[in-house]
Structure 1
Amino acid sequence: MKTLQFKTNINCGGCVRGVTPSLDGHKSIKSWKVDLESDERILTVEVEDSVSPAEVSRTVSEAGFSAQPLERD
């Protein structure tokens, strides 16, 4: 398991409801949450090791939102 973080435009409860079926339906995403209190609206995702950031971004994009991977130092 690994944790990935993304800057996203998921910015309200309605947006969270909109993206929930896509993220919950992805078999390799084990858990996720969006920090709606942060100005950057950070999406944190727990995924299997084989999942790439691009795959998560694509899943979010298919739900109508954007998710840009955060660079780790």
Structure 2
Amino acid sequence: METLNFKTNLTSGNDIEAVTLNLNAIEQVDGWNVDTTSPDNLLTVQTTDNRIADLVKQAIMKAGFQADLIDKPV
């Protein structure tokens, strides 16, 4: 299993709820979590395929938010 980390502008439960369906629709995503207490509002995605970063970014953007892939949590 691979882990992808994204810096996001998801700051509340409502924001997370807005992206939930889009992220859950990505077949290769095994699980995900948003840490709104971190300075980067870190989205951590567990996946079987680390090539899906663009799919995750598109899913977040589709809901009106931003996500940028980062190498590791800050």
TM-score, length-normalised on structure 1?
Answer: 0.87
Aligned twin of 1:24? 24
Which runs of 5 or more residues in structure 2 are unaligned? none
Aligned twin of 1:13? 13
1:1-73 alignment to 2 at 5 Å?
1-49=1-49, 51-72=51-72
Contact 1:28-1:51 at 8 Å conserved across structures: no
Contact 2:5-2:70 at 8 Å conserved across structures: yes
Please tell me the root mean square deviation across aligned C-alpha atoms, in Å: 1.3
TM-score, length-normalised on structure 2?
Answer: 0.86
Displacement of 1:52? 2.8
Q: Percent identity of the aligned residues?
A: 33
Give the number of aligned pairs: 72
1:6-61 deviation digits (Å, cap 9, x = unpaired): 00001100001100010111111110000011121000001122533222111211
3-state SS of paired residue (1:19): helix
**Aligned partners of 1:53 and 1:46: how far apart in 2?**
11
**Aligned partners of 1:26 and 1:49: how far apart in 2?**
11
